[in-house]
Structure 1
């Protein structure tokens, strides 16, 4: 079977419509281009993201359905609350973004990770532009978990998470959901469902529903201070 894909021009930031994405493989939309911050931001504004493996060209995706969390209604499991009460992991925001990005890559086998050096460089540059943000989980002074992603108004486009100790990434998500919601955030995009996300309560929505929400919510501004480097707390309820 022949697959026809749009090849992106390095001198043009335009993408084909997300609705032109293939059904098999699910969401594959285009290839080529580059990983410049401008192109990545353009992609995310349309619900498109890069993902490719070793030896492949840059591939761009817009899968259907889309996995996401609604921060306002996110509820951690009672066992997770009990665990955190006992272990008292500390949670911060934007205090070690470079390290979170590196660890999200380093803790996966080289043949499995899509987060290669070029991708890391691009997201770190976006962090320097205050477009990419991280949540960190600490045990004493050791970084043991976290997540990172890009912001599009009231939508946080989650990219990856890692954990070296039990429940660390779950606690990062729990604390961030409450924090993000308090500042006006309404959706955390997780791209594609997997068993881990499903166990945390992620849901799937149609591509069209997600893109309609993204178009509306990316125009909205969060309350000031959401991504100022800080320590996060959650209400005991």
Structure 2
């Protein structure tokens, strides 16, 4: 679907205003806010308000998690940026795939419901990873996902019960919100139960892939944080695509 001119203009202005708000609130750097606005406009023009609304709620949830007990995170030197703001690399890692999936709604007619599941799963990974990281570092303990040995909270590949719990909550919240918003904005999508189940599972499992890649490759300098996040999201989308294909989604 492509929005008509006036709805497109309104959508673009809303996206720009929200990006400016994120910059003013120091949730995003100016460069990151510009990138987010550009990609956000593409998403809403290609796939509609339901996609934009879910993206906005993902960003809001991520900001809240990032700012939660930020002073304590700064004392431990585990905060994002200098005061919780996120830069261009982080934004690109989390928005490239969702944008491609939104564009897929236009480029591959007849599969809008499948792309809705994949889009929600991509953002479910983002929320799962962000919640796990931002809440898990406050748990005080962490263990290697591979070896089970104690590691410093915030270490790549380190997990905790608190972090894993929040990882599940993050994925589930996006799945549930996606089902609600897609219905509210009449966005083509499969049953709510299917979307919630697939997005939750794919997002959570993608988060585990992210942790494994962080421990195996990022800690050794083979990957950057952004590339690790991108590959984790790609894994989540691949899992979701397999689920869609298994029920005859055709992707």
* Larger proportion of strand: 1
What is the TM-score with the length of structure 2 in the denominator?
A: 0.26
More helix by share: 2
